Structure formats: structure tokens, C-alpha cells
Structure 1
Amino acid sequence: MPVKSKFTAEDIIDAAFLIVRSEGAEKCSARAIAHELNSSTMPIYSCLSSMKELKEAVLKKALDLLISYETKVRTGDVLLDMGIGYIMFAKTEKHLFRMLFLSGSRGGSGDMRKRFNDYVVNALLQKLSGFEPLNEFSQEQKRNLLNRMWVFTHGLAVLLNNSIIKDLSERQIAEMIMDTGIFVILGERMKREIYVSPEVKTFLERSGYPHLGQRQAVDFDLF
């Protein structure tokens, strides 16, 4: 009769998560996990069906932590809080952010894009239904707004995660998101007037994109 392992699957997942969180996904191997547990590699393979299962569990744990950052009440404005939380996660949990969004590690999960889409996009769209400043917009317009804000927020998160720009305080991050959000909302509201203005029409023609003036919007369906 085989000896029962003193470690559970959760113990192994926690150890793997700790390694990824502190050192990066590339450092997480069966040998590294065994060292973290002060054990041999045998419990890893006896408690889990495969390393792929372990990887999936670590990804889920990282995504759950991201969600906790995004749902933390900071300003009382749900949209602003989610943007701040996303960027603070990128700043604070550098290795986890890179695993989720900046490396090939997520590729093995098969549906990380779907998970992120299901939570962030669909959950936000649902919450936007009660957001008074956007009541005049259709669901498609709201999705375009979210996608534009996602491009800005993710870009800022990546810059901070990699220390490409100077560090920003939470207040500075909030002000940047708010300022950009105001312009995005106003741009969506006034796009018909903007795209038919002589200055914009001339700019589009010179740039080789006159068709944008006819569409009066760029398709921002990113997910």
C-alpha cells in the first residue's frame, strides 16, 4: 500500500503560486515546488494529474487575486475602482501580471482570453446599465467605450509594471483614468459633430483615412 502524502493538492498549488508571485512563472518547476515544500517531487505528481492542471490552478488563483484588486472599493465609482485596481495589480503583483498578460504562460490555459472577457467586459457592461452618465448610449457604444478605456488602462499598467515610466501614486493613477474617461465619453457623445468638422475631415483625408469620416467611429471590438 503506497504511503499517503502529507501534502494536499492545495499545498502544492499554494507553493507554486508563491514561487510565481515572488520569482516569476519561468522559475516555477516541479523541482522548485519540491524545494519550497521541503519535499521530493513525488507528492506533486501523486496529488495532481499533470503539470497542466497545476498551471491552470495557479492561473485561476492569480485571476482571482486580480478580481479582488478590481472590486476593492477605493473611490466609490465602480468603473474608476476597477481601472485603478487593474493598474495597482500590475504595479504590486508584477510577476502575476506578466504571467496573465505579458507572457506565453497563459497560452496553455486555452481560454484565459475568454475568462478575462467574461469577467471584465460582460461584468462591466452589466454594471454600466445603472451608470447615469452613459444612459444615452447603446450597448454597442458602451462596449466601444470600455474597449477604448481598456487600451489606455492596460497600456499604463504595462508601462508601470516594467518601470518604463516613473512610479505613480494611486491618486495620480485615478486622476489619469478619470481625465481620459471624460474625454472618451465626450468623444463618443460628440463624434458626429467631430467627424464632420472641416478640420477633422481634412486631417483624415491627408492621413489616408477618409472612410473614417463616413463611419464616424472606429470599430473597437477587441474581444
Structure 2
Amino acid sequence: MSPRETTFDRAAVLGAAVEIVRGKGWDALTARAVADRLASSVAPVYSTFGSMEALQRAILEEARARLHESTTVAYTPDAFLNIGVGIVVFAREEGQLFAALFHTRHHHADIVEGVFASILERMKADPVLKQLPGRSLDRLLHYLGLYTLGLAASIVYGRTADRSTEAIVALMRNAGNMTIFGELSGLAEIGGPDYEREWARVLRDKNIVLPTKENP
């Protein structure tokens, strides 16, 4: 009589799968790799999740939960700034999970969309940001989101020398200040009612004269 195979619950299988991705990346995730980490057959993978697709989704949801937790840390007194800093810090600490969530061609785009939808709701609850019109919040989320993911990727792939939290805070604060100033001043809305006037004021205040086009 053969010995009875050890049973594993969803948490055990998910934990093993997450550790594989954390250590070796998304491409290393296979049913066989999970089974080897559990020292079992592949049966627990399919008996607990039904398919690798379902397991992959659970991993991405776990990555999203850990990302959210990182954005709730009080790196600074500014809750909105902490969201951006938290995303970059998460990328620094969990590069493979970050890459799996944002850079992998998986079939669960709704999870990533949910990340940004959640951030937008937090922006709407911010005592300062909630005073801005919806189109301004959308632009802030779009432009700062691009900057944040770009900075995070540069840290993950070793293109940023100073990876300290202090440096991340400074970079994110500068980007936020410039982008929010653009919204408040009207510079962010190209063709808007304040765009030309505000540019003229800034150039005048800084004594900057733009070259004029010469007639052909």
C-alpha cells in the first residue's frame, strides 16, 4: 500500500507559487516548479486552483495587495506622495513581483486597472486634491503614474544609482510639485483658457525671451 500523499490547501500552494515568482520571476512559474517547492506532485496545484491561469491570477492579486500595503506606509506627512513613494519602494523591495504585475503580458489587465482605480478613489478623498475638477485628477493620475512606473522600472533594472527611500521621496515630491503646479496654474491644459497667459507670465517673471521665427 503506497503512502498517502500530503494534502495542501490554497494558501500553501499560493505561498509556494509567490515565492517562485519573487525569487526567479514570472517565467519560472510552472505547475512542476510549484510541485517541486511543495515536494509533491502537480496534483495539489490543480485540485486547489483548477488551472494555472487561476493560480496566476491569485499571484497577481497577492502582488497587488502587497503593493497597496506599501502605499499606505507613512514615508512622509503627505498621503498622496506616499502612494507614489510606496509604489517605487515596492518595486525596489519586490522587483520580480512588480515586474510580474506591470511588465508581464498576462491576461489579467483588470487587476492592474484596479490598482489605478483605487488610487483615483484615494485622490478624490484627499483634502486638497478633491477640490480639483475630475479632468485634473485624471491627468494627475496619468502623468504621475507614467513617471512613477518609469522610476520604479529604472530602479528594478539598475538604472538608478541612489535607491534610498530619501532619494525616492525627493524625486517623487519634485515630480508631484511640477505636475500639480501645472494643474493649478492651467499649464497642464494645452489650449485651455489659462495656458498662454500663464506661460507668458512665467517667462516674463524669469526674464526669458523666446527666439522669434525669422521670415523665410
- TM-score (normalizing by structure 1): 0.79
What CA deviation, in whole Å up to 9, does each residue of 1:42-71 have, x standing for no partner?
222222211111111111111100001011
> Contact between 2:124 and 2:130, CA under 8 Å: does it hold in 1?
no
* Corresponding residue to 2:149 among 146, 149, 154: 154
- Provide the aligned C-alpha RMSD in A: 2.4
Contact preservation (8 Å) 1:5, 1:43: no
Distance, in Å, in 1 between the alignment partners of 2:130 and 2:98 is 33
Structure 1: which 5+ residue stretches go unaligned? Answer: 207-223
Percent of residue pairs bearing the same amino acid type:
27
Q: Secondary structure at the match of 2:168?
A: helix
Where in structure 2 are the equivalents of 1:185-204 lying within 5 Å?
185-190=180-185, 191=187, 193-196=194-197, 197=199
How far apart are residue 136 of structure 1 and its match?
5.1
Pairing partner for 2:122 from 121, 124, 140? 124
> Which residue does 2:66 correspond to in 1?
65
Residue 118 of structure 1 deviates from its aligned partner by 2.3
User: What is the aligned residue count?
Assistant: 196
Higher helix share: 1
> Which structure: larger Rg?
2
1:137 CA drift (Å) = 2.5
> What is the rounded CA distance, in whole Å, between the counterparts of 2:66 and 2:136 in structure 1?
29
C-alpha distance in structure 1 between counterparts of 2:130 and 2:61, whole Å: 34
| Aligned residue in 1 for 2:15 | 14
2:174 aligned with 1:179: yes
What's the offset of the Cα at 1:33?
0.6
Partner Cα distance (2:59, 2:85) in 1: 23
User: Does the alignment pair 1:51 with 2:49?
Assistant: no
Q: C-alpha separation between the residues in 1 aligned to 2:11 and 2:154?
A: 33
Asked if 2 retains the 8 angstrom alpha-carbon contact of 1:91 and 1:160, the reply is yes
5 Å-filtered alignment, 1:10-159, equals: 10-104=11-105, 107-121=106-120, 123-128=121-126, 130-131=127-128, 134=129, 137-159=132-154
Please, what TM-score do these two structures have when normalized by structure 2?
0.81
Instruction: Extract unaligned runs of 5+ from structure 2.
Output: 188-192, 204-208
- Cα deviation, 1:95-122, whole Å, max 9, x if unaligned, reads 0010011121xx322522332232222x
Deviation at 1:143, TM superposition (A): 2.2
